[in-house]
Amino acid sequence: MRRELETNGEERRDSMMLPLVLLRSSVVLAFAALGVGFWLLQVVQHDKYHQLAENNHRRTIGLRAPRGNVFDRDGRVLVENRNSLNISLVREQVDDLESTLALLSEVSGVPSAALWSVVERNRRDPAYQPILLIRDATIGQVSAVAAHALELPGLFVQELPARHYKTAEVAAHLFGYVGEVSQSQMATAEFEGVRSGTVVGKSGIESTYNQLLMGQDGARQVVVDAIGREIDTVGEIAPAEGRQLQLTLDYDLQEAAEAAFRLAGFDGAAVVLDPRSGEILSLVSLPAYDPNAFAMGIDSDTWSGLNDDTRRPLNNRALQGRYSPGSTFKIAMAVAALEEGVVDADDRVTCNGGATFYGRFYKCWGTHGSVDMREALEQSCNTYFYTLGQKMEVDQIHQWATALGLGVLSGIDLPHEVQGLVPSTAWKREARGEPWYPGETISVAIGQGTVDVTPLSLAVMMATVANGGTRVTPHLLKAVNDGDGWVPAQPPGPRSQVHLSPETISAVTEGLWRVVNGRGTGGRGRIEGRDVIGKTGTAQVISLKGRAAAGETDPEFFDHGWFVFAAPAGAPEIAGVVFGEHNEHGSLSAPIAKHVMETYFAKKEGRPLPVLPLPATPTPEAVPPVAVTAVAGN
């Protein structure tokens, strides 16, 4: 029995040998395949999957660096940072973006289309990167989002440093504004390595000194779990605040200039500088804008409002406006004529209300009789300067005007400076393809014709004449503080230097002194005991004929009035230009210069600053950083 069973067993085992071998070999094969599979994943492709795993649970969260504060020459903070509350979205944590945005739109009052467009713009960013949906949210919006936190996963309130211009519109063009770096900026060498979304300077000193002000954005590396909760902080690079800048700007003078403009009731521009160094003390362009509107990204309505405004508030007239210099150009003419030796300061010309040159009669605005150079400057006698124009080549005028700073860039540390034009024969050949006609020189001699200048370049001319021929470079940067104390900035050297003979200086200075202190047109700029020198000028907006046709009623066609000035004569400490837009005459610009100079001297001597009889002005601090207006939505 036992034997039979054994045989049976053997027989059975033989018949099952094949399936068993097959089964075993397939198991071994399957395990070998698994082994190879794991080897491929874990050894061959390890680096790739290691990286993917790191990306899974590590997040780098950008920490925005506050930009450096900006101070005036007395150490007053003018531009600083404030905390802005923003509503941000992390798409990774949102299941249903559509309903999230719909609800957010409902509770915040922000149109859903606007929210979607922000999301669309950032569609390509990683899903864990917060998208700023509502910048500078109101308290109402923040609390509405907080109240709906459970229904709005993935939305959170993000605190970010935002630029705050304490003085609002005052000196707006000088400071400029900030914004997110643009695609075209990122393509330039200056912004190499700057991440998209970084806030950079877009204009003014924010732009010029962006590298100093910007600081270094930090980052926090965190470990997150599968639903995006931060579990641990692995490392943090604290954001490094930008460097602090001290400007040459004197806020008192800036305020004085802008207040005087307000009192005068017209727009325009003013540049006030120290003729010895080129330090800008005040730089005005009106109308202005509030750079705070740009701090967290400007909304499109405000932006198009600024852009479409016919008064062009974004335009910095001081260095971007090109205007005919009018009679202020006579200063350059006087210097050129004396230095070229075509006249002597004592040579006389008789003005009979005009004179004929090259067969055409050129009018003077009055009948001045016999005048020498000093008297001609004092009374702004056209006939005298026509005569100089007749005696000189246009290229001589061009050469001297250029040496004084006209028709060239001043080199100021502000972006987008525009170059004026002082014509020359070479210029006309190139630009117009025509030879220079001597008759044109007659118009140029009184600052008309093709001559045009920026207010800034006229200020440089005045400084150059006042300081005896050194064409200083106007500049704004006084010192830099990178955290270890203030280091004075290396002032830019003069752009050029010409030797003006003492005779020239004394004759021109005397003429300009008389403009203000004698019978001239600048009497409103006179300050007792300060020996102010100056010159008015009128920039014709359209020809007299055109003006007559327009009916002379539209202020758009009113002339602009110039007043260039320096004080005190002989040893000037302050010089500059006031440009009154459509204010008809330079004599109306002079009081603004006077108020600035009075403020300067009062401050220098420790006296109370002069106060203008102005209606109460809105102080900058009255503008709240976060507008607590209607609680939207609810």
Partner 1 sequence: MLERRLYRHIDWLLLLAVLVLCVIGVVMIYSTTYDPTTGLAGSQVSTQLWALGLGLIGFIVMLSVDYRWFSDSTVLICLALLAALGYALMFGTTGGGARRWIGLGLFNLQPSEFARIVVALALATLFADRRRGPQTPTGWLMTALIVGTPFLLIAQQPDLGTAVTLLPVCFGILVFAGLRLRYVAVLLLLAVLTAPVAWTYGLQDYQKQRISSFLDPEQDAHGAGYQQIQARITVGSGGPLGKGFLGGTQSQYNFLPVAHNDFIFSVLAEEQGFLGVVVALGLYLFVILRGLDAARLAKDRLGTFLVVGLMSGFGFQVIYNIAMSAGLAPVKGLTLPLMSYGGSSVIATLAAFGLVLNVRMRRFTN
566, 593 in Cβ contact below 8 A?
A: no
501, 491 in Cβ contact below 8 A?
A: no
- Show the CA angle centred on residue 255, arms to residues 253 and 258, nearest 5°: 105
Comparing CB distances to partner 1, the nearer of 43 and 622 is 43
Comparing CB distances to partner 1, the nearer of 159 and 232 is 232
Interacting residue ranges for partner 1, rule: CB under 8 A: 9, 12-13, 15-16, 19-20, 22-24, 27-28, 30-31, 34-35, 37-39, 41-43, 45-46, 48-50, 52-54, 56-57, 223-227, 231
Smallest gap from Cβ 128 to partner 1, in A, equals 13
CA distance 402 to 420: 10
Comparing CB distances to partner 1, the nearer of 53 and 611 is 53
317, 337 in Cβ contact below 8 A?
A: no
CA 285 to chain CA centroid, nearest Å = 11
Smallest gap from Cβ 6 to partner 1, in A, equals 10
Comparing CB distances to partner 1, the nearer of 31 and 437 is 31
The amino acid at 592: I
Smallest gap from Cβ 616 to partner 1, in A, equals 59
Q: What are phi and psi of 330, to 5 degrees?
A: -60, -25
Of 261, 292, 282, nearest to 72 (Cα)?
282
Smallest gap from Cβ 123 to partner 1, in A, equals 16
Comparing CB distances to partner 1, the nearer of 36 and 487 is 36
Q: What letter does residue 54 receive in the DSSP assignment? A: H
Smallest gap from Cβ 55 to partner 1, in A, equals 9
Strand segments, DSSP code E, in 290-425 are: 349-351, 354-357, 360-363, 369-371
Comparing CB distances to partner 1, the nearer of 47 and 120 is 47
Smallest gap from Cβ 619 to partner 1, in A, equals 51
Comparing CB distances to partner 1, the nearer of 48 and 604 is 48
Smallest gap from Cβ 228 to partner 1, in A, equals 10
Comparing CB distances to partner 1, the nearer of 223 and 263 is 223
Q: Which long-range contacts link 140-144 to residues 24+ away (Cβ below 8 Å)? A: 140/628, 140/629, 140/630, 140/631, 140/632, 140/633, 141/87, 141/107, 141/108, 141/109, 141/110, 141/632, 141/633, 142/85, 142/87, 143/631, 144/107, 144/108, 144/631, 144/632, 144/633, 144/634
Smallest gap from Cβ 223 to partner 1, in A, equals 7
β-partners of residue 360 are: 357
Residue 284 region, left (φ>0) first, then alpha (ψ -120 to 50), else beta? beta
Tokens 């713009």, located at residue: 121
